[in-house]
Amino acid sequence: MFIPNTPEDRKEMLAKIGVSSVTELLAQIPQDLLYPVLDLPKALTEPELAAHVRALAAKNKPLKNFIGAGMYEHFIPAAVGALSSRGEFLTAYTPYQAEASQGTLQTIYEFQSCMCALLEMDAATASHYDGATALAEAVLACLRVNGRKEVLISAALHPHYKEVLKTYTRHQPGVKITESPLGADGTLDLTALKEKLSDKTSCFVLPTPNFFGCLERADEVSALVHQAGALLAATVNPLALGVLQTPGAFGADFAVAEGQPLGNAVNFGGPGLGIMTAKKAYMRQLPGRIVGIAKDKNGKRSFVLTLQAREQHIRREKASSNICSNEALCALNAVIYLTLLGPRGLAEAAELNLERAHTLAALAGEVPGFKVKFTAPYFNEFVLECPAPAKTVIKKLEKKGIGAGYALGADFKGMENCLLVCATETKTEEDLKAYADALRGI
Q: Which amino acid is at 243?
A: V
Q: How do residues 410-424 score in pLDDT, each as one tens digit?
A: 999 999 999 999 999
Domain boundaries defined on the chain: 64-73+342-440, 78-336
Q: Which residues of the chain have pLDDT under 50?
A: 1
Contact 67, 422 (CB under 8 A): yes
Q: What is the predicted pLDDT for the residue at 2?
A: 65
β-strands 274-278, 254-258 pairing: antiparallel
Residues 6 or more apart whose CB falls under 8 angstroms from that of 65 comprise 73, 403
Q: What is the predicted pLDDT for the residue at 158?
A: 98
H or E element: which one contains 57? helix 46-57
> How far apart (Å, rounded) are the C-alpha atoms in residues 101 and 159?
38
β-strands 402-403, 64-65 pairing: parallel
In this chain, the answer to whether the domains covering 64-73+342-440 and 78-336 adopt an identical fold is: no
> How far apart (Å, rounded) are the C-alpha atoms in residues 442 and 438?
7
Q: What is the predicted pLDDT for the residue at 324?
A: 61
Q: How do residues 267-324 score in pLDDT, each as one tens digit?
A: 988 889 999 999 999 999 998 888 999 998 999 999 988 887 677 777 777 777 767 6
Contact 96, 289 (CB under 8 A): no
Q: Which amino acid is at 77?
A: P
Q: What is the predicted pLDDT for the residue at 4?
A: 81
CATH assignment of 64-73+342-440?
3.90.1150.10
Q: Which residue intervals of 122-203 are DSSP H helices?
A: 131-146, 159-169, 190-196
Q: What is the predicted pLDDT for the residue at 327?
A: 81
CATH 3.40.640.10 fits 78-336, yes or no: yes
